[in-house]
Amino acid sequence: MDDSTIIGADRLTARALLLGDRIDLAGLERSDTISLMPLAFQVGPAGRVVLYRYGVAVLLGLSPLEEDDIISKLKGRIVGARLLKEDETAQLVLDTDDRIAPGGSIGVKDFSNPRFLVFSDALAKSVALGRDEREVSGVFDEIEPLAVSLARHGRPMRGRREMLKLIGRALRVQHRVSGRVAVEEKPDVLWDRPDLERLYARLEDEYELKERAQTLQRKLDVIVETARALADLIDADRSSRMEAAIVVLIVLELAVSLFQIVFMSGH
């Protein structure tokens, strides 16, 4: 990995953009590639870009025109593109130590590529978690009236298909958090640069990555268990109605048989 540092800058703006559900990175390797896992490369003398398969691009030191150019070139590779792109920004400033500076800026000893990769990993995970937190909150908003209806009327308002859709949405977020984003996994660059472990730990605390992932997982567990319980209640209610219908049919059949016996005996 190239450890080159941007010369002449003491403050850079980093921006993490949530472009969609996934970015297809096949065949995007370039001559100015910094890293392959994740894919990172240089743009001009000062700019850098890192792309994550789970739909996030982190841009450092790019002008608005350079940002627009990078995003437009990625359009055909974005799966589940978003019309309103969510973003999160941060300031990187040169400091005597790697630390979170007053005011929320990120102090780093230098603007080397390894430090950029460590920082971008934390920022990308933060913006991806923000998407999942909002999606789970939306599912919670749908679950609440179902629970209220169950408490008031003794039965859920929706059918089994709707319950299964809620379970599916929760499982999709769960898969994304544990599989694609892998919030609790450390960036690969730390294998080569264990001296940057402390920087990553500070960024992890600053963006509350572990706490947010754990809270998200607990909410997902509640949603899945609640939706399954409601689906089971619907199944039980449906079985009861089916049993009642069978009993009515048996009674009707007996009544018809008795009627036929009485009618035949009368003749």
Digit-coded pLDDT (tens) for 202-239: 999 999 999 998 888 888 787 777 777 766 766 665 55
More confident residue, 5 or 59: 59
77-111 pLDDT, tens digit each = 999 887 777 789 999 999 888 988 777 789 999 98
CB atoms within 10 A of CB 157: 13
Q: What is the mean pLDDT of residues 129-144?
A: 81
Indicate whether 45 belongs to any domain. Answer: yes
Alpha helices for the chain (secondary structure H): 64-74, 113-153, 160-175, 189-192, 197-206, 209-266
* 128 and 106 assigned to the same domain: no
Query: Residue 95: which residues within 8 A CB-CB, separation 6 or more?
Result: 101, 107, 108, 109
Of 142, 147, 134, the closest CA to residue 166 belongs to 142
3-state secondary structure of 234: helix
Quick: pLDDT tens for 150-208.
Answer: 667 666 555 667 766 776 777 776 676 665 667 788 999 999 999 999 999 999 999 99
Count of residues in the chain: 267
Q: How do 11-18 and 39-43 pair as beta strands?
A: unpaired
Examine the domain organization and report whether 251 and 171 are in the same domain: yes
What is the rounded distance in angstroms from the CA atom of residue 199 to the CA atom of residue 103?
Answer: 17
Q: Is the pLDDT of residue 121 over 70?
A: yes
Q: Give the end of a domain, one of 111, 144, 178.
A: 111
Same domain, 230 and 171: yes
Task: Tell me which residue of 101, 134, 122 sits closest to 58, measured CA to CA.
Answer: 122
**Chosen domain end from 111, 146, 165:** 111
| pLDDT at residue 75 greater than cutoff 70 | yes
Position 261 scores a pLDDT of: 67
Q: Are residues 137 and 255 in the same domain?
A: yes
Token pair of 165 as six digits: 């859709």
**More confident position, 229 or 134:** 134
Domain extent for 78: 11-111
What is the predicted pLDDT for the residue at 137?
Answer: 82
Give me the residues paired with residue 47 across strands.
43
| pLDDT at 27 > cutoff 50 | yes
Structure tokens belonging to residue 53: 């398969």
Q: What is the pTM of this model?
A: 0.77
Q: In which residue are the tokens 């430090």 written?
A: 115
